[in-house]
A = this chain, B = another copy of it.
Amino acid sequence: MPAKRLPTLEDVAARAGVSRATASRVVNMDPRVGSAAREAVQTAVTELGYRPNRNARSLVRPEPDSIAVVVPEAEDRVFTDPFFASLLASITQSLADSPVQVLLAMGQPGNSLKIERYLRGGYTDGAIVVSHHRDDHIWQVLTETRLPAVYVGRPYVGDVGIPYVDVNNHAGGRLAAEHLVTAGRRCIGTITGAMDMAAGEDRLAGWRQGLHEAGLPDDLVEHGDFSSESGAQAVARLLARQPELDGLFVASDLMAVAAIHELQGRGIRVPEDVAVVGFDDSQAAQLTRPPLTTLQNPVAQMATTAVSMLMGLLEEQPASSVVLETELVHRASA
């Protein structure tokens, strides 16, 4: 069986009895085409089921037509964690009016080979990379191939010559600590995020500084990895170490909600017995009982900033990194 060849512009032109150039004009809505020719071409297009070959077009007219959103995390995680979900939603939304398409590339953190191959492969004109782990080498690929790129969340390894947008995680951790101290808590613990990510480290460092300034010990630390389960497990370890716990900063709402569930399951009241501060101000923060006191993570703003930075890069305008401020959202949990 001969491979079914898709109709080309040449076929359309032949059927309409015009030249390929004229057919191209009709398809591209060039106004200077006679109405007879125009109609003939349009008919031929629908009759043949003609679809322009994007590759051929882009080859001639090299305009950026897709950017990749790269999330080096497992697929289910990406769609489950409200941080990623709302970030992706915001990114797509800010590109909704542009002709640029969004390509979603995900993959296990350890196995970024597929992603690297993809970025090297020239599939895309630019990349927004979300969530950088210490052992990711994606930034090297980006640098080597000079692919226009922006990070959301400062890369763990520091300045790699690729601009980023981030929230001030350090200030957030410190605000959380201060709030708990002001509320009269004296035995304050924390559940960190993933420690191979800047967000995890910075929030912890900020919290430490806050406690340090209040003259309180800062060693009640258990590590999570931003996932729900890790939050529940970490709070259990924390309680085992220190039953007197009366204040808790959790580095993400997702973990905080799980931690609160765990506390309540053990008959520990929030905020009466343990005051809990989260991070992200996700939708869940409002729905949980009690509503979660948390730090605002300006996800939508990070998304639009990242997008406009990248669009700038595509037009050769240099971009510099941006760090957005965060605020404490005071609700009932602390």
Chain A residues with CB under 8 Å of chain B are 4, 46, 49-59, 62, 65-66, 75-76, 78-80, 85-86, 88-90, 92-93, 96, 101-107, 114, 118, 120-123, 144-147, 283, 316
Q: Which residues of B are found within 8 Å of A58, using beta-carbon distances?
A: 55
Cβ-defined contact, B123 with A104, below 8 A: no
Docked complex Cα distance between A66 and B51 (Å): 15
Q: A52-B121, A55-B58, A144-B49 are in contact. Are A93 and B79 (CB under 8 A)?
A: no
With A85-B79, A107-B96 already in contact, the answer to whether A55 and B52 are too (CB < 8 A) is: no
Q: Give the complex CA separation of A119 and B163 in angstroms.
A: 33
* Contact yes or no, A76 B86, CB < 8 A: yes
How many copies of this protein are present in the complex? 2
Chain B residue at smallest Cβ distance from A60: B55
Listed residue (A80, A102, A118, A123) with the most chain B CB atoms within 10 angstroms of its CB = A123
Give the one of A75, A147, A283 with max B CB within 10 A: A75
Complex alpha-carbon distance, A220 and B219, angstroms:
58
Q: A79-B88, A102-B104 are in contact. List 15 more A-B contacts (CB 8 A).
A: A49-B144, A49-B145, A51-B121, A54-B123, A55-B55, A55-B56, A55-B58, A55-B62, A56-B59, A65-B123, A78-B89, A79-B86, A80-B85, A101-B105, A102-B103
- Kindly list chain B residues whose C-beta atoms are within 8 Å of the C-beta of A105: 101
B85 touches A89 (CB 8 A): no
A49–chain B nearest beta-carbon distance, Å: 4
A33 to B114, CA, bound (A): 25
Instruction: State whether A96 and B114 are in contact (beta carbons under 8 Å apart), knowing that A101-B103, A102-B104, A144-B49 are contacts in the complex.
Output: yes
The 4 closest A-B pairs by CB, nearest first: A79-B85, A49-B146, A55-B55, A54-B122
26 A-B pairs with CB atoms under 8 Å apart are A49-B144, A49-B146, A50-B145, A51-B122, A51-B146, A52-B121, A52-B122, A53-B59, A53-B122, A54-B121, A54-B123, A55-B56, A55-B58, A55-B62, A59-B59, A75-B89, A75-B90, A75-B92, A76-B86, A80-B89, A92-B106, A101-B103, A101-B105, A102-B103, A102-B104, A103-B104
